[in-house]
Amino acid sequence: MAFYVVNYTYRADVDLDSVRPRHREFLGDLVTQGVLRASGPLVGVTPPAAVLICEADSAEAVSDVLADDPFKAADFIAGAEITEWNPVLGVFAP
């Protein structure tokens, strides 16, 4: 298993709050499954954005699990960049 950082960029012309409860419920399920280790919105950025830290076998596995995100179904995500991450210090380090 490896860590992956997902950088979400949201569309600026949508009401994120209209879907946010379902999005957070979805992410909570990923936490329970052990896939999502941390997530949250970036503060003070335009367009709105967020970071998710996932643990999975591959970037493709992360992409597959995020395919069911209600924000994606609502077409609120303008971009999602998935990058493998190698934490060497801190709470995610081995």
Q: What pLDDT, in 10s, does the model give residues 36-76?
A: 999 999 999 999 999 999 999 999 999 999 999 999 999 99
**Where are the strands (E) in the chain, listed by range?**
2-10, 36-41, 49-56, 77-85
Residues constituting the chain: 94
Could you tell me the pLDDT band of residue 22, with boundaries at 50, 70 and 90?
very high
Rounded to the nearest integer, the mean pLDDT of the chain is 96
Average pLDDT over residues 16-38: 97
Q: What is the pTM of this model?
A: 0.93
In the prediction, which pLDDT does 4 show? 98
In the prediction, which pLDDT does 21 show? 96
